[in-house]
Amino acid sequence: MMRRLVSLVGCLIMLGGIAQAQSGPLRIEITDGVIEPLPFAVPDFVAGDAAAADPAKNLSRVIAADLTGTGLFREIPSSAHISKVSDFDAPIQYADWKAINAQALIVGAVAVSGSKLTVKFRVYDVFSGAELGTGLQFSGSTDGWRRMAHKVADAVYSRITGEGGYFDSRVVYVSESGPKNERRKRLAIMDYDGVNVQYLTDSASIVLAPRFSPNGDRVLYTSYESGFPRIYVLDVGKVQRRVLENQDGTMSFAPRFAPDAKTVVFSLSQGGNTDIYTMSIGNGKRQRLTSAPSIETAPSYSPDGKQIVFESDRSGTQQLYIMGANGGEAKRISFGQGRYGTPVWSPRGDLIAFTKQNKGRFHIGVMRVDGSEERLLTASFLDEGPTWSPNGRVIMFARETQGASGRSSLYSVDITGRNLRPVRTPDGGSDPAWSPLQK
């Protein structure tokens, strides 16, 4: 699977044409509290020939789904379109798109030559009567068409929001089936939108909390296959794994890569005490970062690799702390009511996402790195385990329902708390981890 995806990276060409500065009214500020979704139109991309007809239609649909799924955009259906776009280079009939209030118009064309597919597109700011940015062209293998659609949608999203995109990304998670007392878990990887699910392990042993390497080529996770929780690293392309931590009499879990991809931070339990350690992937050399009788776990690096946020119950309840990458004194950052766990540093460095338990409810929330401006984004019987989209604007997490028939599924929500939506997976899901944007 990775191989065919790699082939997509082929070429990216700036199309000729009149470059326009990103100005005028076509702009969404994601951090605004409540916004009206921006209406856009994406007529079926123009097919170069009969072989391109299906891909052209499918691409347009995935682009529309990506944009609509953000909650920031609203598609104007093709049934309402006045103009038809049958020639990629024909002049845009702005009046026709204004008449249906399409603020953004995405026009594209698809050509298929053997197993190679080429997509080009332009984005128009209808009310300014001008192109937004310049046209782009992607080419790759025909079976990588969904990635090309995600790349087009990422470009459109970036031009309108000024933020990086996140559609051309993947999610590794724990696929769950069976009742609570007989839950079967296996690692799975999929596109961010729940498509192209591939299983990476079988369900013979419990697996927990997979985490991507900084470039997405490897996954760290915890497995009970030895009878004890141990950390494994898995090569995503080859689906090969090896144990990283295997010291008798200990348990290791909650691993994450450092941004340098050479170091792993994790929790190790020995004699009932759980502390945080790092390990070099190359030579296995370990360093102990905390030494307290309390539970220290769920470590996550800052994007610059200089600090680690983690949870500890050293104060009597689970709270969030930040320490240097080599340990030392830790500073508590969470002070609200309740218990805080599973902190994850935003890829932008500005926020910490966490799970909060208060008065019998669970929440996913974010706070600034200094602990200020805490904002709860969700509330339910059991929400847990946030992970950041590559652009730091969306959080995916797991929600478990209450009772004997309880089931865990994946959801996403944006950092303002808007656009809570399920992420569809074939079975239940937990412990999602979002990859970086693919290259």
Partner 1 sequence: MTFLRKLLLSSAVLAMGACTNAAGLGGANTVDLTGAGATAVGSPSDPNSVAYFQQTIGDRVLFLVDQSTLTAQGKATLDGQATWLLANTDYSAIIEGHADEQGTREYNLGLGAKRANSAREYLVSRGVAGNRVKTVSYGKERPIEICSEESCYEKNRRAVTVLSGALAG
Chain contacts with partner 1 (rule: CB under 8 A): 179-183, 205-206, 208-209, 225, 227-229, 249, 251, 253-254, 267, 269, 271-274, 295-298, 311, 313, 318, 341-342, 355, 357, 381-382, 384-385, 400, 402-404, 406, 431
**Sole residue written with tokens 């600034």:** 368
- The closest alpha carbon to 300, from 397, 416, 216, 387, belongs to 387
Q: Which residue has the tokens 């209406």?
A: 39
User: In angstroms, what is the minimal distance from the CB of 367 to partner 1?
Assistant: 16
Residue 144 is classified by DSSP as G
Closer to partner 1 at the Cβ: 135 or 385? 385
Give me the least distance between CB of 404 and partner 1, in Å please. Answer: 5
Smaller CB separation from partner 1, 143 or 225: 225
Task: Give 350-362 as a DSSP string.
Answer: SEEEEEEEETTEE
Q: In the bound complex, what is the minimum distance in angstroms from residue 207's beta carbon to partner 1?
A: 10
> What type of residue is 34?
V
Beta-carbon contacts of 227 under 8 Å, excluding residues fewer than 6 positions away, are none
Cβ–Cβ under 8 Å, residues 108 and 48 = no
Type of residue found at 129: G
Q: Of 249, 293, 248, 300, which is closest to residue 274 (Cα–Cα)? A: 293
> DSSP of 163-182, one letter per residue?
S---SS-EEEEEEEES-GGG
Shortest CB 295 distance to partner 1, Å: 4
Nearer CB in complex with partner 1: 115/317? 317
Residue number, 137 or 380, with CB nearest to partner 1: 380
Question: Nearest CA to 109 among 62, 57, 147, 65?
Answer: 57
Smallest distance, Å, CB 389 to partner 1? 21
Which residue lies nearer to partner 1 by CB, 30 or 276?
A: 276
Q: State which residue, 62 or 265, has the beta carbon closest to partner 1.
A: 265
The structure tokens listed for 326 are 């080599």
Q: Is 2 helix (H, G, I), strand (E, B) or coil?
A: helix
Q: How far is the CB of 72 from partner 1 (least distance, A)?
A: 30
Q: Which residues pair with 137 in a beta bridge?
A: 13, 120
Question: Minimal distance in Å, beta carbon 183 to partner 1?
Answer: 7
Closest distance of CB 181 from partner 1, Å: 5
Identify whether the C-beta of residue 428 lies closer than 8 Å to the C-beta of residue 199: no
Show Cβ contacts of residue 72 under 8 Å, excluding neighbours closer than 6 positions.
Answer: 28, 30, 35, 37, 38, 157, 161, 419
Shortest spacing between CB 392 and partner 1, in angstroms: 22
For partner 1, give the closer residue by CB, 141 or 252.
Answer: 252
Nearer to partner 1, 227 or 282 (CB): 227
Residue that has been written with the tokens 């969700």 in this structure: 378
C-alpha to C-alpha distance for 412 and 405, rounded to whole angstroms: 22
Residue in the structure block whose two tokens are 């494994």: 232
- Minimum CB distance to partner 1 smaller for 158 or for 269: 269
Whole-angstrom Cα Rg for the chain: 23
251 vs 376 by CB, closer to partner 1: 251
Residues recorded for the chain: 439
Closest CB 172 distance from partner 1, rounded Å = 16
